[in-house]
Structure 1
Amino acid sequence: MSHPNRERADRILDAAGELLLRMGYRKVAIDDVARAVGIGKGTVYLHWRTKELLFQALMMRESADLTDELLALIKADPAMILPHRMIPGSFLITHRRPLVMAMLRGNADMFGSLGDLALRKQQAEMGAHFEEVMLRRGLIRADVPHVTYALRAATLGFYFGDTVSDEFEGIPLEERAEVLAHLIRSAFEPPGEPDPAAVAEVAAELSSTLEELVSGFRNGIYAHDPAKAPG
């Protein structure tokens, strides 16, 4: 059952997201958010005691929605967890979320003190866990030196390349994802077809890890929900 407080919280977060993209974290005041939703400032504070908590909740919701998209893809096809599909899949989903892109790029102007979000740490841990499971099940080559570093460095170039130079900005996003897939497939995956049992096992393990991540995020978003407040 949806709660009116929850719906109002979501409207506040929607407005905060739009303002954040337009003005940047430092310039947005709780007043602006309240005005955009058509409520009083005090009502925003009912949900989140500080501006920082409000924007952390916004990023948790973005991360939860993004992870849900990834989960849906894995559910539809477990082979989605193969690195040459998972990494470009995440690349596309992330690029369609301007707030997540800004967070990833550590846009200080956009995020102020939120730049060192625990979310980033959590996502890095997830990536490391994913790679370790892949290696164990033979879905990533074991002969690549410093494979985690290599994989991360290769992938990050696709996220940050256009911040260094605009030389390739004419390449459409889908084509960039295809280039990324080709690179990951040829450099990091063993030749031949992957073992279906290994794919199924990793898909199940990764899905349950991602589901836990999402439920943690969703609980955090509304942690100060007035519906839960005593009295």
Structure 2
Amino acid sequence: MDDRMSHPNRERADRILDAAGELLLRMGYRKVAVDDIARAVGIGKGTVYLHWRNKELLFQALMMRESADLTDEVLQAIKADPAMILPHRMIPGSFLITHRRPLVMAMLRGNAEMFGSLGDLALHKQQDELRAQFEETMLRHGLIRADVPNLSYALSASTLGFYLGDTLSHEFEGVPLEEKAAVLAHVIRTAFEPAGEPDPGAVAEVAAELGSALEELVAGYRNGIYAHDPTRSPG
């Protein structure tokens, strides 16, 4: 069943979030008022408050929806091909998916003017927990090298450079996105994965384990998006 059909006013809530996202990109968090969002949707301000008690909770729900959609896209890619779970495929795959989502890119790049204090509320805890589980599972199944000092820092620094590079220098702005993803895949494969072909059994086990974790994460996000207070929803 379509999730929207099982929740009254879900379609209206999505229209509110769509408008909030467009205004956020155009004006920034501090300048967007609930009045602006209501006007864009063609409803009264009071109707917006029926869904979320204040502007901050509304925008939390917006970023929760963005994170749920992005995570679900990664999950579907893994279900279609379990080898997508390998670091040199999953990390560049997520890189490409993220670049198709301007709000997530702006959040990831720490755009303080756009997000104000909202960046501090952007689901970092769940994402950090998932990242730690990803690394632990990869190590346990021998799909990532165990001799890399401070693996979490090394992986994070190596990956973030590809997201943030254009904000620090204009030198490589002309490099096509797909080429950047291919370079990222090469770096991850050569620096962090053991030589040789990965064991198919290990790949299948990791895909199943991390796929379940991603499903739980998406379910938790979906439970919270349309709650009056997303931070207190179940899941």
> TM over 0.5, yes or no?
yes
* Partner-residue secondary structure (3-state), 2:50: helix
2:147 maps to what in 1? 143
CA RMSD in angstroms comes to 1.1
Indicate if the aligned counterparts of 2:60 and 2:122 stay in contact, CA closer than 8 A.
Answer: no
Give the one of 184, 205, 208 matched to 1:204: 208
The alignment status of 1:121 with 2:121, answered yes or no, reads no
Match of 1:159 in 2: 163
- Distance, in Å, in 2 between the alignment partners of 1:168 and 1:118 is 28
How far residue 4 of structure 1 moved from its aligned partner, in angstroms, is 4.4
Q: Amino acid of the residue matched to residue 98 of structure 2?
A: T
Determine what percentage of the aligned residue pairs are the same residue: 85
2:180 aligns to what?
Answer: 176
User: Partner residue of 1:47?
Assistant: 51
Report deviation, 1:214.
0.5
CA displacement at 1:163 relative to structure 2: 0.8
For 2:80, give the aligned amino acid: A
The reply on whether 1:130 has 2:116 as its aligned counterpart is no
Q: Distance in 2 between matches of 1:222 and 1:148?
A: 33
Cα distance between partner residues in 1 of 2:122 and 2:15: 24
Report the Cα offset of residue 62 of structure 1: 0.3
Q: Distance in 2 between matches of 1:142 and 1:176?
A: 26
Q: Which of 15, 33, 41 is the aligned partner of 1:11?
A: 15
Q: What is the DSSP-based 3-state SS (H/G/I as helix, E as strand, rest coil) of the residue aligned with 1:25?
A: coil
- Distance in 2, Cα, partners of 1:82 & 1:123: 18
Give the aligned partner of residue 102 of structure 2: 98
Q: TM-score, normalised by structure 2?
A: 0.93
Counterpart residue identity of residue 155, structure 2: L
SS at match of 2:9: helix
CA contact (8 A) 2:64 2:122 kept: no
Per-residue Cα deviation, 1:63-117 (whole angstroms, up to 9, x for no partner): 0000110011000000000000000000000011000011111211111111112
Return structure 1 stretches of 4+ with deviation > 6 angstroms.
Answer: none
Partner Cα distance (2:66, 2:135) in 1: 24
Shift of 1:224: 2.1
Aligned position for 2:27: 23
1:71 aligns with 2:72: no
Aligned residue identity for 2:66: E
**1:185 Cα deviation after fit:** 0.4
Whether 1:87 aligns to 2:91 is yes
CA distance in 1, matches of 2:151, 2:208: 23
- 1:118-149 per-residue CA deviation (whole Å, 9 max, x = no partner) reads 51222122111101110111000111111221
Bigger Cα displacement from structure 2, 69-78 vs 143-152: 143-152
Which secondary structure does the structure 1 equivalent of 2:123 belong to? helix
1:193 pairs with one of 197, 212, 221: 197
Q: Secondary structure at the match of 1:141?
A: coil
The answer to whether the 8 Å contact 2:63/2:122 transfers is no
The amino acid that maps onto 1:41 is: K
Distance 1:171 1:152 in 2: 22
- Counterpart residue identity of residue 106, structure 2: A
- Structure 1: unaligned runs, 5 residues or longer: 226-231
